[in-house]
Chain A
Amino acid sequence: MPARRGPPARRPRRAPSRGGRAEAAWREFAASFARAGMVPPAEAGLAAVEAAEGAAVLLLAPRQTLTFTGKCRLRCLYGAVRLLGFAVASHQPALPVFSPATHCALTLEALPADRPPAADLRQLRAAARAAMRAHSVRRQARVKVMARFSAECALVLLEHLDTPVTRFLLSHLPLSRLFEPQKKEEPSFTPEDAVLASVGIVKCSPDRGLLVSESMFLALEELIQACCAEDEGVPVVLVCGPKNTGKSTFNRYLINLLLNRLPSVEYMECDIGQTEFTPPGCVSLSNIAEPILGPPFTHQQTPRKMVYYGQTSCEQDTERYLDVVKYVFSSYKKEVPLVINTMGWVKGEGLLLLIDIVRLLSPSHIVQMDVYDWKAMAPLTPEYVHLTPGLYTKGKQQAKCKRMGTSGAENWKSSEGEGDALAPEYKLLYIHPEFPRAGVAGEARVHSGILRDMSILGYLGQLQSPDIGAVLPLHSLVPYQVPFSAVALRVIHTDVAPTNIMYAVNASWVGLCRIPDEIRCQTDGPVLLTQTPVCDCLGFGIVRGVEMEKKLYHVLTPVPPENLRLVNCLLLGNIAIPNCVLVGQQGVEGEIPYVTSDYNYSILGSGKLKKKKHFKRREYAFECDYT
């Protein structure tokens, strides 16, 4: 059983593990309260009271925790709480909080609040009462809460949360149960559970939440210190490790912890398969000022810089991948700390590529996540990186880089002199994740393709208008139109016969990009690029239709018009519109293009090419119609 850690500011302490007998006693205690018609505490100190329709006040004793799945809006009324590292005090606005069953559950934890030392309990009670009144907590509820009030406790207002994005996501059948608990964890259902359920969350076992291992705790402590120290330069933290070792969760936790102390942090996404703030297939640089309290599909945001690479893995074209990384990194201004996320591809060429990236980005810290045996990847010590050749860069022992010979990758080694290159200077921090199934390939809770679909849906959710309570189907929205001749077109991942290119473009997912060149065309027909540009991507859209007579593309996109007018290039990669979007179209006339129920996957040769891997079957919690 891995230890759960508290905030890094204090010594880690094991979570109190109550024996079965004590638990039964508490349950009995709770039941007695319920019988008496009083506030039923499920645990010592924890109490939830219905505050209004779809709202609840939660009272937590100091250090008390609540791990939950579901979604809600959270506001601290009194004291302070912490959520995935981010401290929320009573002066902060309400935060949307998402804890779907597909991801590591969030844990709410009461902190001892900093308050004036001489504060009188009566004043504190008055403050708490006033805060509750200000958020129209019912009188009855206020009385109940105040009965259990203590100066050190924390009061949290939880409200039902329903955003256009979540409504849109949940409207797709495969995801409709996204925020519901996967199975009933507690055999008994207390009135308190009912109160929580009414705001949309369900308590779950603490080990569904983030499990902070000793090594992670130490690494976090060091990183926070480095980021908050005034004297040294701004840290650049590169996080790497094999798939499913908790890189993303670690990043979120780290960023949230940093945001407690800094106004913003920069984040560079190099994992094109599982992007945090953008749809998949992108390398991007984002400025993060808001805490990350949910999975990627709940916080899609426009990055400062983004390039659409167009694939979910870079094996096919590692050179362009490095060009893209370099291009995006060049707009990092080194004013605020940077967290760099990398791909889980750390075997063979993947490791070599990672070494290239380390050389290219020269981080100040590398966080390497791996299970204990180091089978997946060697420790990336500065010495190791110094000596080991990368995929495109050479190690110290090699005379000249042989594989380069390109204009693209040469300049990034300018800092290193010929022959006696200096060893890179960074601090390597190991993290050994200790959650169950850590690092086991194919044991992720959700298939990576479904996670990608979810971030695309999260992105498309921005098309929903905020003031309508119902979900508008994508195909019913009014699209933009742009002439063939005004935007260049390029299919990134495969060669398509030019005469047939509209068959590829129609009803496809495209990157809306800007190339510096002016679009030159001899005819009014489409302009096809002869190579894939490394250029700014301003967002994404769906080519809703191609009008051959008027030579127009019709595009659905949430990109604001002031940015959209800059778009002069459409890039088409192998990232597809989620199947559920196409299949789920309702109320249309006739057949839905590209959708059939006649395709029989059991016929030999009907499926895709599978790599010869012998992995265990995954447990798909959310099955889309992949076959």
Chain B
Amino acid sequence: MAGGGAAARAQLALRRGRRCLSPARKRLKPLRTVVAWRGRAEWDQVMVGLYCGDSRLQQEALDRVSAWKSRYGPKMPLAVDCTAELIRCKVLDSSGRLKSHELILSYGLALVRFVNLITERKQKMVSIPLRQLAREVDIPIWVVDLRHELTHGKLPRLALCRKGCDVVLDWLRKTYWSRQLGNNLCEESEDEEEEQEGAEGNAELDNDTWEIRTPQHEACQKHKEFHEKVRDVLISYKNEQFRVMQTVQSVSKSRELWSDSSSEVDWILAQIKDLMQENRETVAEALLSDGFLIPKMDCLKMLNIKYEANKEVWQFRIPQTFYCFWQPLLTGLLSRSFTQILIEKMFMELKECSDSSELRPQFLINWISEMLTGIAKINAGKKRQHCNKQVSVKELFLHKVPLQWIRLTDNCLEAPCWATPHLLQLILTIMRPRLPRSSRKNLLYLASVYTEGGGPLSSPGLSSDCSEQPIYTIESLQWRARQENQVKNQGQTVEKQEDVLERDDGVEEVEEEEEEMVTETNPLEGLAHSGNMVAIAEKRAALQGSAWQITADEVRWKDFPLGKLPGQTDDPDGLMLDNYSMMSLLDQPVGDEWKSPNTK
């Protein structure tokens, strides 16, 4: 591990503490809850805004948090509240409007509240000393002492308050923000940039991330070192698993032992996660280098796995023992973003390895297939199944993993091989939003035509297939996939045009099916319309001349959830106001003189 210092160890201890919670959590179905942000984009925007270091953006994020507080009422998450209070202090500080004494008071209250509120959550019936609680959750002891000074002692110096604020904000980022919303790893900062390009305030985050702009060779050297580091940890994982296997004689016993993660495996996992914070791409690369997820022959022998040269014998599954060997590690690592990266890398590898050993493509295909199947299961919300009568095989995924499916479709099509139709089919089934059925069928059909008859991994020679399907090349397939997606977004009208195009290709029956799917409606809807028309007309009449009206537009309201209107995008800034007027009331019994002055 990089630092290896006390802090890192403490952090690890903290992680372990959290891991203790996980068995209970695993059993629970992911609970759908109501939160204050409209969607992930809004959450991301606020998180990035709060931590960006630019007071203007921070203030904007704080303003949004004030709306969250309204939505949550008394259920506002403590960590959000504490973060906002501390950021507020920082914004005040940088505005230069307050003198140091006032700032100390502000920082002081925010810090006291943080320490008290966060530790109180952990308080039991018998009260536990604050220092101990703080140690349990890895809050530095000096912050607890600072709290003590603030409440019972001399007011500390401003510098110390500032430092306390920064440390606590960092703690909140690591403990709460980075781990929340399906990020079980501290890794978002990079992730978010990929997803919402152009979002302001991301630039500031770059400082912490790995990609510091350094001369090329230096970066290359670093990369190599890093790669080695990852390999070392992965090797230690392998060794540990083999060691466990040797303690028992049968392979099936060792499968069971592997699935109950030990503290040793936890430790290794934590190390890899730490490395992933630095660079996930490289971790993925290392995993796919020979000897890990892609085994060497000797490894298979050790695991008593008979290698079958026939590609179809394994039926797109990883041999069970090998799966169980890696499952604890993968389950720990496969966050949303890492899953995307790993599968993409696997496709890239698949593309490269057409002429290499037979083990590699086969394992790549089977791993992709295993992962996609796992995602399909978890995304469909199905309970975990026991695939084998003797041993229950654990799933790779614990949470839903929404991926960038169009990208994966592209990747899949870029690595054509005998298994492409199968993998494509998997992707198209899991993909949300779905492509129209006709497009899915066409893609699959064309993919199978394209790969049919070739060797196990025919290189993408365009010429041979072009004669049969002159229009469709791999490129056009990819183009299609993108087009389809756009069409889907644009709505039905464009889809019709597509259908017209397709008619030339003689796929009418498919198109009919497609139309059925689109017009498939709730049988209630008709009733609702006819039955309510009279009522609506009456209401409309009763509202004549009033500011209140019944929405006249023909809107299929049932397609739009509460909080969303037709044409509204997920733009997190979509509800910002640029103008408003304030109005005060005169005849209210509530006099302004003793009400808190909310507005000025």
Instruction: Known A507-B563, A597-B400, A605-B172; judge A323-B590 contact (CB<8 A).
Output: yes
Please, which residue of chain B has its CB at the minimum distance from the CB of A495?
Answer: B598
List residues of chain B with CB within 8 A of the CB of A579. 33-34
Q: Does A487 contact B (CB under 8 A)?
A: yes
Give the distance in Å from the alpha carbon of A572 to the alpha carbon of B448 in the complex: 57
- What CA separation (Å) do A62 and B538 show in the bound complex? 50
Chain A neighbourhood of B594, CB < 8 A: 319, 405-406
B35 contacts partner chain A, Cβ-Cβ < 8 Å: yes
- Whether A530 contacts B78 by the Cβ 8 Å rule is no
Q: Are the CB atoms of B547 and A487 closer together than 8 Å? A: yes
In the bound complex, do residue B563 and residue A533 qualify as a contact, i.e. CB atoms below 8 Å apart? no
B102 nearest CB across to chain A (Å): 20
Q: Are A627 and B547 in contact (CB under 8 A)?
A: no
How far, in whole Å, are A603 and B173 apart by their CA atoms in the complex? 12
Inter-chain contact A604/B137, CB cutoff 8 Å: yes
A17 at the interface (CB under 8 A from B): no
8 A Cβ contacts from B546-591 to A = 546-551, 555, 557-565, 568, 570, 574-591
A585 to B522, CA, bound (A): 14
Identify the stretch in B24-32, B290-298, B355-363 within 8 Å (CB) of chain A at 4 or more residues.
Answer: B24-32
Is B25 in contact with A533, judged by CB distance below 8 angstroms? no
Task: Give Cα distance in the complex from A547 to B567, angstroms.
Answer: 10
Which of A75-83, A244-252, A375-383, A513-521 is the interface stretch? A513-521
Interface string of B447-490 (1 = CB under 8 A from A): 00000000000000000000000000000000000000000000
Q: Are B557 and A603 in contact, with the CB atoms below 8 A?
A: no
Taking a contact as CB atoms under 8 Å apart, the answer to whether A530 and B583 are in contact is yes
Docked Cα-Cα span, A405 to B590, in Å, equals 12
Q: In the complex the two chains form, what is the Cα distance from A549 to B433 in whole Å?
A: 27
For B127, give the chain A residue with the smallest CB separation: A612
Q: Which of A487, A504, A560, A605 contacts B70 (CB 8 A)?
A: A504
Per-residue CB contact flags for chain B residues 27-58 toward chain A (1 = under 8 Å, else 0) read 00011111111111000000000000000000
Contacts of B547 in A (CB 8 A): 482-483, 486-487, 565, 568
Q: Are B575 and A531 in contact (CB under 8 A)?
A: no
CA distance A320 to B590 in the complex (A): 7
Is A407's CB under 8 angstroms from B591's CB? yes
Q: Is the CB of B583 within 8 A of A499?
A: no
CA gap between A494 and B36 in the complex, in Å: 14
The residue of chain A having its C-beta at the shortest distance from the C-beta of B563 within the complex is A507
Selected interface stretch from B141-149, B175-183, B410-418: B175-183
Whether B3 sits at the interface, judged by CB under 8 Å, is no
Q: Mark out the residues of chain B between 342 and 400 whose CB falls within 8 Å of any chain A CB in the assembled complex.
A: 399-400
In whole Å, how far is B255's beta carbon from the nearest beta carbon of chain A?
Answer: 28
Rounded to whole Å, the gap between the CB of B43 and the closest CB of chain A is 9
Asked whether A506 and B38 contact (CB < 8 A) given A530-B598, A542-B562, A625-B33, the answer is yes
Query: 8 Å CB contacts to B: which residues of A478-532?
Result: 478-483, 486-488, 491, 493-504, 506-508, 515-517, 519-532
Q: Which of A472, A517, A593, A602 contacts B38 (CB 8 A)?
A: A593
Stretch at the interface among B61-69, B219-227, B324-332: B61-69
Bound-state CA distance A501–B535 (Å) is 33
Interface centre among A323, A473, A526 (most CB of B within 10 A): A473
- Residue B157 at the chain A interface, CB threshold 8 Å: no
Size category of the A interface is 35 or more
CB of B444, distance to nearest CB on chain A (Å): 24
- Given known contacts A465-B532, A548-B575, A594-B37, A604 and B583 CB-to-CB distance under 8 angstroms: no
B230 within 8 A of A: no
- Determine whether B9 belongs to the interface, using a CB cutoff of 8 Å to chain A: no
Q: Is the CB of A496 within 8 A of B67?
A: yes
CB <8 Å contact, B562 and A496: no
Residues of chain A with a CB closer than 8 A to B559's CB: 587-589
A607 to B180 Cα, complex, angstroms: 12
Within the complex, the shortest CB–CB distance from B565 to chain A, in Å, comes to 4
Contact A488 B583 (CB under 8 A): yes
Tally of A-B Cβ pairs under 8 angstroms: 354
CA distance A404 to B575 in the complex (A): 41
Tell me if A475 counts as interface (CB < 8 A to partner B): yes
A588 to B559, CA, bound (A): 5
Q: Mostly helix, strand, loop or mixed at chain A's interface?
A: loop
**Cross-chain contact B77 with A515 (CB below 8 angstroms):** no
A311-346 contacts to B (CB < 8 Å): 319-320, 323, 326-327
Is B196's beta carbon under 8 Å from chain A? no
A499, B579: Cα distance in complex, Å: 8
- B261 close to chain A: CB less than 8 A: no
Residue ID in chain B nearest A549 by CB atoms: B567
Query: Are the CB atoms of B30 and A597 closer together than 8 Å?
Result: yes
The answer to whether B180 and A600 touch across the interface, beta carbons within 8 angstroms, is yes
Instruction: Determine if B543 and A608 form an interchain contact, defined as CB atoms under 8 angstroms apart.
Output: no
- B interface, size bucket: 35 or more
B30 and A609 form a contact (CB under 8 A): no
Q: How far is the CA of A482 from the CA of B543 in the complex (A)?
A: 11
CB distance from A311 to the nearest CB of B (A): 8
Q: How far is the CB of B132 from chain A (nearest CB, A)?
A: 15
Q: Is the CB of B531 within 8 A of A465?
A: yes
Stretch from B116-124, B263-271, B278-286, B306-314 that touches the partner = B116-124
B599 at the A/B interface (Cβ < 8 Å)?
A: yes
CA A498 to CA B118, docked complex, whole Å? 30
Output the nearest chain B residue to A310 by Cβ-Cβ distance: B73
Question: From residue 71 to 100 of chain B, which have CB atoms closer than 8 A to chain A?
Answer: 71-82
Cβ of A567 within 8 Å of any chain B Cβ, yes or no, is yes
| B356 to A: closest C-beta gap in Å | 38
A547, A581, A606: which contacts B176 (Cβ < 8 A)?
A606
Partner of A408, one of B64, B71, B589: B589
Alpha-carbon separation in the docked complex, A515 to B589 (Å): 13
Query: Contact at B548–A561, with CB atoms within 8 Å?
Result: yes
Choice from A478, A531, A548 contacting B550 with Cβ under 8 Å: A478
Q: Which residue of B lies closest to A546 (CB)?
A: B575
Residues of chain A lying within 8 A (CB to CB) of residue B399:
597-598
Q: A462: shortest Cβ distance to chain B, in Å?
A: 13
B551 touches A603 (CB 8 A): no
How many angstroms from the CA of A598 to the CA of B337 in the assembled complex?
Answer: 14
Contact partners of A478 in chain B: CB under 8 A = 532, 536, 550-551, 555, 557
The listed residue with most A CB atoms (<10 A of its CB), out of B21, B121, B538, is: B121
CB distance from B343 to the nearest CB of A (A): 19
How far apart are A241's CB and chain B's nearest CB, in angstroms? 24
Known contacts A599-B35, A600-B180: A609-B548 contact under CB 8 Å: no
Q: Considering the chains assembled together, what is the distance between the CA atoms of A44 and B559 in angstroms?
A: 57
B2 within 8 A of A: no
**CB-CB nearest in chain A for B62:** A497
B543→A323 contact, CB < 8 A: no
Q: How far is the CB of A221 from chain B (nearest CB, A)?
A: 40
Chain B residues within an 8 Å CB radius of A625: 31-34
Query: Is B31 within 8 A of A597, CB to CB?
Result: yes
B101 interface hit (Cβ, 8 Å): no
Chain B residues whose CB sits within 8 angstroms of the CB of A533 once the complex forms: 585, 588, 590
User: Considering the complex, which residues of chain B in the window 495-546 have a beta carbon less than 8 Å from any beta carbon of chain A?
Assistant: 522, 524-525, 527-528, 531-532, 535-536, 538-539, 542-543, 545-546
* Partner pick for B34 among A482, A530, A594, A610, CB 8 A cutoff: A594
Q: Are B37 and A479 in contact (CB under 8 A)?
A: no
Taking CB atoms and an 8 Å cut-off, the chain A residues in 550-583 that contact chain B are 554, 560-562, 564-565, 567-568, 572, 574-577, 579, 581-583
B154 on the interface (CB 8 Å rule)? no
State A476–B558 Cα separation when bound (angstroms).
4
Residues of A close to B18: CB separation below 8 A: 602-603
Of all chain B residues, the one with the shortest Cβ separation from A322 is B589
8 closest residue pairs by CB, A with B = A605-B79, A507-B563, A574-B73, A486-B547, A497-B63, A476-B558, A565-B546, A503-B67
9 contacts between A and B (CB under 8 A): A468-B527, A478-B555, A499-B578, A525-B580, A530-B599, A531-B590, A544-B562, A605-B77, A607-B121
A residues neighboring B (CB under 8 Å): 319-320, 323, 326-327, 405-408, 465, 467-468, 470, 472-483, 486-488, 491, 493-504, 506-508, 515-517, 519-534, 542, 544-548, 554, 560-562, 564-565, 567-568, 572, 574-577, 579, 581-583, 585, 587-610, 612, 614, 625, 627
